[in-house]
Structure 1
């Protein structure tokens, strides 16, 4: 019998319900579709914020999956005692549900809904004063004491500001001016990329045919991980060497090219695995999980001797960088990547910088000039070998 164990979990000084089970793609995808469910890298378990109706919410979500739900370790009275001061009031729970419904009504993506919901949940746990008296300074204090103090990434901080703007828009707090909520500037970080030799070494080191096909199509067509996992067999046009990307980021459709050298891998994969609906399928024909792709990519990098921190998105960055280095125009790369703004694509010009990288170091020039003059001395052998 498949069992899901629910147990008390204290994480980041908050009370939660921990959720553990023998890994299963189908259950993992179903579980994370519930807003509020998150994965803890430190605890290595999924968890759900504790509240008076958390148990019933989980039961309702997991009922009918064929799994036995074990709540034996959850002592409701003990939880209520420990959580007396931490648990949001019923009014707060009502607000969370209304906020969730509001975001879905605006057709935000599932990921955005879950993220914004979690920010509001944290704020309601932190803010003890009546919400009708909410001011800009209350939000700023939350940012200072929770988001900045816990050293969340700048991108996460910016998302939090966006979440508050939606919250204020929904409830119209008179004393809050959303345009004055400070938003930190975007970090200008350059993407890591692999060399073309490293890409080939990575594919060679990936012995599993399915895994190799996944990495090859991400790199050869510059796909986002989410785009790959949603690809249907009908989206693959081998004759035209095209892949149709349906309703990607920003709800945009686009076509991307398919590499000639990828087609033999694809045909071999299709004949061997015979997927029924999706290009990449997990158990019972369900969608493959992003975490599984990240896991085998990490293993393949070890086998290939690649020590850089690589993610599936690194392959997309590498695709764009190599295209630019081979003379493909930025406008075409923007279309292929599905970027809404050319500024997003421009970052790859900073990665390549071919003209700058070809400038010779003055150290090399100095050593070369002296060696050419025939005055080679022991001191010029900088390696001492």
Structure 2
């Protein structure tokens, strides 16, 4: 018995040691970012004064007690959030600044506590999908949807493109690509063998957000941006994708023409430096109104086509929403329904419905007792109550009784009645 007792005791002791060792090992590996230790040698409470963190360079951050790597991380974070910090709350999110260090600096920071519509999100928390790459690629040529196919979230993809635009439209090198705040070291390791980029950044590259490219012999001349086709934009130094993006932005987003220089400046593929190069040569002519071929006062809103909606001035997204909602309803029975369509330009649609007629004679209507099950389960106004309606009508043949049993909110009941006989 004594021998068994010692065996059990020894086993328990070994098990405890293994558990303690495992706990220590796993706790050390838990954090992606190494533990931050602030340099205290020269930061024995320096004579702090009020400061704007947007004005500090790397050396000044180091003077506040941060290491060289921490200072670099803070500046990199500033680029990702749009080039400047907008609030203390936003600055606090930078993982290179510990809670203790932020508390020490907070009262000296010349920023509001919070900012409305703060753009920065915790993009790293979106790393849920696995990064999958099967062939070599040039990251300069990838669109947002292509980054998403690789495994990044929509927000991460947008941030990667924003970082590329910050660099001037090109990642320049693997080294610069690695500095993208959104791309974790783990994901970079997966992507690195497939990147078609030079390993190191050219010595003459200036990381200032300006366009970096080999100067080509572009001969600028006065031009009207409203009449240029993609080939002519390419002649001004843009890539094929950039040229197509500019034309699409002009024709779809701006409905055919740049009205002001600001409209051109807002185009995301035209960098600030490129705009300054083009500006002296831009000659904006008065916008020519496109002749409208359709008489919209004679077009039934239940028959109007996608193409006619584009002709009226709606963009593809708005036109698609309106046509799609009409299809689900099997036709509009009131003009207010059109205004209630999700994701639509209400001002432009209000103008349309004030001109065009609405014919409801061909819109199908039923009683609750006669309505086809498929129609009930698919119609936006009935589908959430379809099973109850089908159940109640086995016993009751009166629509009023069934509506009473459904106990709907008044506004939902009124919507149903639009499609009831």
How high is the TM-score relative to the length of structure 1?
A: 0.27
- Between the two structures, name the one with larger relative contact order (CA 8 Å, sep ≥ 6): 1
Which has the larger strand fraction? Answer: 1
Greater fraction helix:
1
TM (normalized to structure 2)? 0.25
Larger Rg: 2
